[in-house]
Amino acid sequence: MATLGVGVAGVGEMGRRHVENLRRSVPNARLVAVADVNSAHAARVAGELGIEHSFAGLEAMTERSDVDAVVIATPDKLHAEGIRIAAAAGKDIFCEKPLATNLEDAHAALAAVQRAGVRLQIGFMRRYDPAYLAAKKQIEDGDVGEPVLIKSIGRDKDPPPMAFYEAGLNGMLFYNNTIHDFDLVRWLLRDEVVEVHAYTTVAIHPRIAHYGDVVAALVNLKFARGAIGNIESYIQATYGYDVRTEIVGSRGSIFVGSLQQRPVTLFDARGSLRPVADQFLTRFADAYLAEMQDFVETMLGDRPPQVTAEDGLRALEIAVAAEESHRSSKPCAVEAGARPEAIGTGPAHLR
């Protein structure tokens, strides 16, 4: 059985999970190397998990001929550059969301992918979550009829530390967090967002306004086929990591997620205790593993990825429009490229 030689760039919280999954639970992956700008950390992770090579950067790692594919889990603003480096070295790529934090970088990265003839999968792991997959199937089977409304909530338990903002390496809330929902609503409804209207606040943490970020956002959406939607993102729910979606159609409604993330309730002197997932690595553990298994099998099988470069770009276009709406306090059209009629006639690297 052929195996895929993989290198992981960026072994922080997310990258380390991909490393663990590749090392322990994806039998057809050969985890050859890790790279991190913090080379001591890369060496430590390599040592802990029995990985032969570690590097201080992606470029050096891609020089290895036994690295067939690269996983990019560096901070948001470094994704586009990472994709260009990996593509130039002829490696297939899995890149964490977002594809980039602006459209210029995104198009440059996708052009590099096209030039090199490599494949790119984007880390929208909710598409691999069993609950979201079940909902998707029910929508496709017509169980809710024609979708009319979609509501999605993404609340983190605790805000990132101030160092996250100070480092300036990640996109603001729309790119770092809401991007999951921007992808999810397109995927679930099989439709494109054509207009957004964003409301935002820096209440409780006004300091983060200095970094161009927000604490919470509500984004209203209009879809090409007539449905409407609303997405809420919030960084400090305190009670848990709360991700929920509802799709309402002409014949019914589907809920995904609940405050009780696991079907266990403890009763004691305090009453009932329902454990709520505390963060993304818990809630989406199955999805992170499934997406990595799919990435490896896709690359070995010479198939096109299921979560494509185009998906990365479409979600980014919605995030860019949401940021514009947040700045102008007005509804904002999503760039014409996102319209369904434009798909297939857009830039060559998307065809």
Ligand X SMILES: NC(=O)c1ccc[n+]([C@@H]2O[C@H](COP(=O)([O-])OP(=O)(O)OC[C@H]3O[C@@H](n4cnc5c(N)ncnc54)[C@H](O)[C@@H]3O)[C@@H](O)[C@H]2O)c1
Contacts with ligand X by CB under 6 A lie at 9-15, 35-38, 41, 57-58, 73-76, 78, 96-97, 123, 125, 176, 280
Torsion angle defined by CA atoms of residues 294, 300, 303 and 309, in that order, rounded to the nearest 10 degrees: 60
Nearer to ligand X, 47 or 252 (CB): 47
Nearer to ligand X, 15 or 312 (CB): 15
- Across the beta sheet with 120-122, what order do the strands follow? 53-55, 29-35, 4-9, 69-72, 92-95, 120-122
Minimum CB separation from ligand X for residue 270, in Å? 32
Cβ pair 42, 35 in contact under 8 A? yes
Three-state SS for 131?
helix
The helix (run of H) or strand (run of E) holding residue 47 is helix 39-49
Q: How far apart are CA 28 and CA 301, in angstroms?
A: 11
Minimum CB separation from ligand X for residue 164, in Å? 8
Nearer to ligand X, 224 or 237 (CB): 237
Q: How far apart are CA 320 and CA 109, in angstroms?
A: 17
CA 27 centroid distance within chain: 24
Minimum CB separation from ligand X for residue 41, in Å? 6
In order of 75, 101, 272, 327, the CA distances from 14 in angstroms are: 10, 18, 32, 30
Minimum CB separation from ligand X for residue 329, in Å? 27
Position 162: which residue type?
M
Q: Which long-range contacts (CB under 8 A, 24 or more apart) does 217-220 make?
A: 217/173, 217/174, 217/178, 217/322, 217/326, 219/174, 219/178, 219/322, 219/325, 220/196, 220/331
Nearer to ligand X, 93 or 227 (CB): 93
Helices (H) and strands (E) in the chain, counts: 12, 15
Minimum CB separation from ligand X for residue 84, in Å? 13
Nearer to ligand X, 49 or 224 (CB): 49
Q: Which residue's Cβ has the minimum distance to ligand X? A: 12
Minimum CB separation from ligand X for residue 37, in Å? 4
Minimum CB separation from ligand X for residue 233, in Å? 13
Minimum CB separation from ligand X for residue 87, in Å? 16
Q: Residues with Cβ < 8 Å from 215, sequence gap 6 or more?
A: 159, 201, 202, 203, 204, 205, 208, 234, 235, 236
In order of 23, 76, 291, 301, the CA distances from 304 in angstroms are: 24, 24, 14, 9
Minimum CB separation from ligand X for residue 269, in Å? 37
